[in-house]
Chain A
Amino acid sequence: MDIFLQQLINGLVLGSVYALVALGYTMVYGILELINFAHGEITMMGAMVALAVIGALALAAPGLPGVLVLGAGLVVAIPVCMALGLLIERVAYRPLRHAPRLAPLITAIGVSIILQNIAMLIWGKQYIPFPDVLPQGRHEVLGAAITDVQIAILLLTMSIMLMLILVVQKTRLGRAMRATAQSRQVASLMGVDVNRVIASTFVIGSALAAVAGVMVSAYYGLAHYYMGFLLGLKAFSAAVLGGIGNLGGAMLGGLLLGLIESFGAGYIGDLTGGFLGSHYQDVFAFFVLIAVLVFRPSGLLGARVVERA
């Protein structure tokens, strides 16, 4: 029972981070039908920038409370990622909006190679440990342990998602986003500045990615210039799992994927009699992805996609 509960907690925490990144993929895909391959790298950039700020602050002013230092890291990382998202959309995607579908995919790959290598040149190839500013508290809940970091991640992601839903459902910008997602042409006829809406989508998605990057590096205690790749891949799987283009789907997909991974890694050894070990953890994301796409290509919450003539 305690193992079950522990895996549940781990899965939920991991899943909420996946969900945060998945939201960025799903928003962009919903509007542009573009897989923004560079999104994982933006997450990585957020983690790296925040870590640099936190490290510098921890050195300069060792007396500051951890929460403040962490907040400072986020405050710097979020605008940096927003600017990056804006720049990438402007330079690499907007000129190709009417190009063959594969062209923006290639530039997206190019951009993620560029970001990875910039990060490598700045911060080096080694793993960067998370500075020692995090609260170390652990709480026992029914025989399972939950750390302060995990609680913070859960609370923060939940509140961010709530905010995002409010923005998309209640504000003018949100309405414009939904209209653009339905039809770019008609939205622009109704007076929506489509270019601005698309740019805002990238900016919002990048801000979420920055927060997720900081969280994931805090959770694992390290950051690395290559960390965005697998994270991005899994988050995209989560978005597809939930039904790409659907915000609720991305959240659900992220949580589910986190749970599947953590339960899968926890129980695969017992289920196969020790034949397969927990190092197969990364396989689950892809198996689930393939199964969902083959049996329900529109994802769990996605609308049935009608074949376009």
Chain B
Amino acid sequence: MSSVLSLNKTQPHWLVFGLLALGLALLPFLVDAGLGRSWVRLLDLALLYVMLALGLNIVVGYAGLLDLGYVAFYALGAYVYAWLASPHFGLHLPFWAILPLGAGLAGLFGVLLGTPTLRLRGDYLAIVTLGFGEIVRIFMNNLNTPVNLTNGPQGINLIDPVRLGGVSLSQPHTLFGFTFSGVHLTYYLFLLLTLAVIFISMRLENSRIGRAWVAIREDEIAAAATGINTRNLKLLAFAMGATFGGLAGGLFASFQGFISPESFNLMESIMILCMIVLGGMGHIPGVIFGALLLTLLPEALRYTGDWQRNLFGQIYVDPADLRMLLFGLALVAVMLYRPAGLIPSARRRQEFADAKG
């Protein structure tokens, strides 16, 4: 019996995969029927954050480089998309052409940021990346003069929605008698890309590169001594993470149809970092769980208005104001009771047990 179980653990049954795939395919319809259209939109956003969190996880979780300016790459991807597919410059390039461009450019910027910071580690690196993120945001806010690049704090509007073949993801389409609305189609596109990012992350984790990153994270000097090219691998981590960030940024721009510097502040970077740490750093299921939790939890906390009405008969505190407070409390509580994250990797759980003992 135990052998069957252990076999299941290493090689999941095809049935599990089948059910999971079916569940994921039906999810938007179930959510739509149960919770309403706005939650399907939220689901799309959650997938976007899964991609972002997995991208940052490469930098922070695998290579151990604490990056607090990650949102800059996200912003870059979004602005590249907005420049090339909106009335702002009058360009309307197709979706599949811009997305790799934005992602690639973000990756290049990842290397640009990485190069001067190679010598820094730990908190110092965190602060430099934080500064980098803030600089990017301030420039986005102010580059409307003398040349109007970013349209300043107003942001760029009327960004083209995703259009694949002849199918625009902003209108409903009917297929096999089912009507798929725009958010549903977006869900499938995002799901596909998310799965690709998960797949790449998994392959990286168990590759020579992934193991080298972990070695750098654990002890950079020892890693260099064993012949690992720490410089190139750290740059690669920055570039890979930034590429995923740029990808998510492009998707975000097309999904929202509007971007402004407001969406790319430091809080956003911190939020993505929280997803990783809360879920379990360097552990893909943990990171995915953290991203889903932190995207959906603040929305779910909006329902505190109903609870208040049921409990006290009236609303004392505006739920929109209360939810961030509860969110902060949740952040502290989880860290106090599970400092290695909600779903930590076996290695980190072990490390933490060692540190405690």
**Across-interface contacts of B355 in A (CB, < 8 A):** 98-100
B351 and A100 within 8 A (CB): yes
Q: Chain A residues with Cβ under 8 A from B274's Cβ?
A: 106, 109
B26 part of interface (Cβ distance < 8 Å) = no
Chain B: which residue is nearest A276 at the CB level?
B142
Given contacts A103-B335, A110-B331, contact A297 B351 (CB under 8 A): no
Bound state CA distance, A106 and B328, in angstroms?
10
| Residues of A close to B120: CB separation below 8 A | 293-294, 297
Picked from B124, B139, B281, B324, the residue with its CB within 8 Å of the CB of A297 is B124
Chain B residues contacting A29 (CB-CB under 8 Å) are: 123
Which B residues touch A116, using CB under 8 A? Answer: 324
Q: A interface vs B, CB < 8 Å?
A: 29, 33, 35, 91-92, 95-96, 98-107, 109-114, 116-118, 120-121, 229, 233, 236-237, 240, 275-277, 279-280, 282-283, 285-287, 289-290, 293-294, 297, 307, 309
| Contacts A103-B339, A107-B335, A114-B325; A282 near B138 (Cβ below 8 A) | yes
Indicate if B346 sits at the interface (CB-CB under 8 A): no
Would you list 9 pairs from A and B whose C-beta atoms are within 8 A, ordered by A residue? A92-B336, A96-B335, A110-B329, A113-B328, A229-B266, A233-B134, A286-B135, A287-B135, A290-B128
A279 B142 Cβ-Cβ under 8 A:
yes
Main secondary structure of the interface of B (DSSP, over half): helix
Closest 10 pairs (CB-CB, A-B): A110-B331, A113-B328, A286-B131, A99-B339, A114-B328, A117-B325, A110-B332, A103-B339, A107-B335, A110-B328
B66 contacts A by Cβ under 8 Å: yes
Query: How near does chain A come to B254, taking the closest CB pair, in angstroms?
Result: 29
Q: B123 to A106, Cβ gap below 8 A?
A: no
| Residue of chain A at shortest CB distance from B117 | A294
B221 interfacial contact with A, CB 8 Å: yes
Classify the interface of chain A: helix, strand, loop or mixed. Answer: helix
A237 CB to nearest chain B CB (Å) = 7
Chain A residues near B123: list those with CB within 8 A: 29, 33, 35
Find out whether the CB atom of B221 lies under 8 angstroms from the CB atom of A307. yes
Which residues of B sit under 8 angstroms from A105, Cβ to Cβ? 277
State whether the Cβ of B89 lies closer than 8 Å to any Cβ in chain A: no
Q: How far is the CB of B106 from chain A (nearest CB, A)?
A: 19
CB distance from A235 to the nearest CB of B (A): 12
CB < 8 Å neighbour of B335 from A106, A114, A233, A309: A106
Q: Judge if B132 is at the interface, Cβ distance under 8 Å.
A: yes
Interface residues in B109-129 by Cβ distance below 8 A to A read 116-117, 119-120, 122-124, 126-128
Residue of A113, A276, A289, A293 with most partner-chain B CB within 10 A: A113
Q: Which residue of B lies closest to A114 (CB)?
A: B328
**Contact status of A237 and B278, CB under 8 A, knowing A110-B328, A117-B325, A279-B142:** no
Q: Which chain B residues lie closer than 8 Å to A237 at the CB level?
A: 127, 131
On chain B, the residues within 8 Å of A294 by CB distance are 116-117, 119-120, 128
Q: Are A280 and B339 in contact (CB under 8 A)?
A: no
B339-A109 in contact (CB<8A): no
State which of B122, B332, B348 has its C-beta within 8 Å of the C-beta of A101.
B122
> In the complex, A279 Cα to B141 Cα: how many Å?
10
- By a CB distance below 8 angstroms, the chain A residues around B132 are 286, 290
Cβ-neighbour of A99 out of B138, B328, B352 (below 8 A): B352
Q: Would you call B317 an interface residue if the criterion is a C-beta within 8 Å of the partner chain's C-beta atoms?
A: yes
Cβ distance A104 to chain B, nearest Cβ, rounded Å: 8
Cα of A101 to Cα of B125 in the assembled complex, Å: 14
User: In the assembled complex, which residues on chain A have CB atoms less than 8 Å from the CB atom of B122?
Assistant: 101
